[in-house]
Structure formats: C-alpha cells, structure tokens
Structure 1
Amino acid sequence: MNAGPWPSPRRSRWKNSRWATSSPTCLPPDSGITELVTHRIVDIDTSGEDPVFQTRGDANSSDDPWVFGLDDPTQARVEATVPGLGWVFLALADREIRMLIIGIPAGVVGVLSLIEVVRALRGPTAQTDVGAPKLSSVTQN
C-alpha cells in the first residue's frame, strides 16, 4: 500500500489505536488460501469510509498480497488470554498423548473398581486383635 514516493495514507484516528499493534487471525480474502493466518498489521489506509488493513507475516520480507476491512458492524476480539492453554490443545491434538491422558485415569478407576469387586466377593473378614483385652459384658441386676 505504501509503494512508491507517495505520502502514506491518512492514519490519524487509527495510528495509536489497538489495531496498530494487533495481529489478526483471518481467512485471507480472494487469495486462494484455505487456512486461517495470523499476521501483523503493518499499515492502515483510512482514505476511504472504512479503514483497510495491510498485513505481513513475521517471517515474510514483503507485505501480504491482500488487504482487508472490517465489514460487519460487530467484530470478534480477544477479551482475555490464558497463557499456555494453547499448548494443552496442541498436545490434545496428538493421538498418543490424548490416549495417555484418557487411558491412565481410566486404568486407575478400573483397577480400583476391580479391587472393590474382589473385596465384595470375599465377604466380610474377621479382624481379631491379638493381645487386646476382651471386654466382658456387665449386666446390672
């Protein structure tokens, strides 16, 4: 968007806004890309009625070939984050880890249930305390 000797687009309202340092995740419009991408906003063109955003990936040396605007009256935005939660979802995507996370607690529950069944089938056991004094019943007449 800022190629050539022309002055940069008017950015007064957006220059210091949260959009200036934002990294939106979007499906690039008319690009042929079918997966979501997260790229930083590098320029905001406010010459029209609505702002138009130019993005660039951190590993890319040039701007993305697409621009996008916020067409809907309301837009989703991040209100809060939980640091590290993404790693949990990433781990759950792995089949082996998912099987361990589900399998280990299920195995523990199974073993504990089996122990209870065996105890129930044995019946009550007589517990005798060797060396303990025997209580005699005292009756009053």
Structure 2
Amino acid sequence: MRTLWDLNKVAPRCCGLGHQTAIYGQNVPGWFSRTSELGSSVSLDLPLDSWPNFLGLIICFDSGQLGHFGFKYSVKTPTDFMEFAPWLDNRQGILTIILPRSIFCVRDGDDKIELKSNFMFSGIHLLYKTEITTTHE
C-alpha cells in the first residue's frame, strides 16, 4: 500500500498536475497574514486540527531582487520536502506564487511548515477552506 501512496504523491508532480501558479502584481495583497520581517527562512505554525481544511499557501517575492538565475525556494513539513526553481521572465513587481496542497504533503498531526529561499520573502499567507452555509426560504 505504501508504494501506491508514493505513486499518488509523485505522479501529479511529474506530470505537471497541481503545480504552483505564478502571478505578477504591483504590491503584496493587503489580506496577506504575514508581510514584514520575513527574511529568507520562515517557520509557520499550523493551528491544531487544521490540516483537513488546509488548501495551500501563497508566497510573494519582489521580482526586482530575483534577477534571472538561481531563484529557488523550498517547502518542508514534518512529512514532506519539496524544492522549486521556477523560470522567471523580465517582469518587475511582486511575484505571487500559489502553492496548492496537492504538491506537498500536510497530514494529520503536522504542526509546522518551513519555507526557505535564496531571496527574501515579501509576503506569506496560508489558505484554508471555509464552510459556507446558506439558508433556503
């Protein structure tokens, strides 16, 4: 059974499914939960029992500091480690990268996400699904 789980975990990564999305903008969005004193290494504590609702995270970098070569970042949880080296173009501004949960593992009991980059993070935001209830009259 372990092999099947490994295949399910690796196949989307190798096939390009569930991959990160990059968007350029002028500023870090105002609704980001962390935007100052981030540095190039950040540790995020996950609330207890939050993993079923965890959808992923969004990270921002100032593209002016990145240049064109050698940009990379990593995401580490107690059960997974992934390193990314995205291709960048010449655009200036804030590079916002959306990392869905499908490309790194967060399991029950995982309480921390560690992010590292060879450049400074400009913003970080954890994404959770919220329950929406509607009433029909």
Tell me which interval the TM-score lies in, with the shorter structure as reference length.
Answer: under 0.3
Structure showing the higher strand proportion among its residues:
2
Q: Which has the higher contact order (CA 8 A, sep 6+)?
A: 2
Structure number, greater radius of gyration: 1
Structure showing the higher helix proportion among its residues:
1
How high is the TM-score relative to the length of structure 1? 0.24
How high is the TM-score relative to the length of structure 2? 0.24
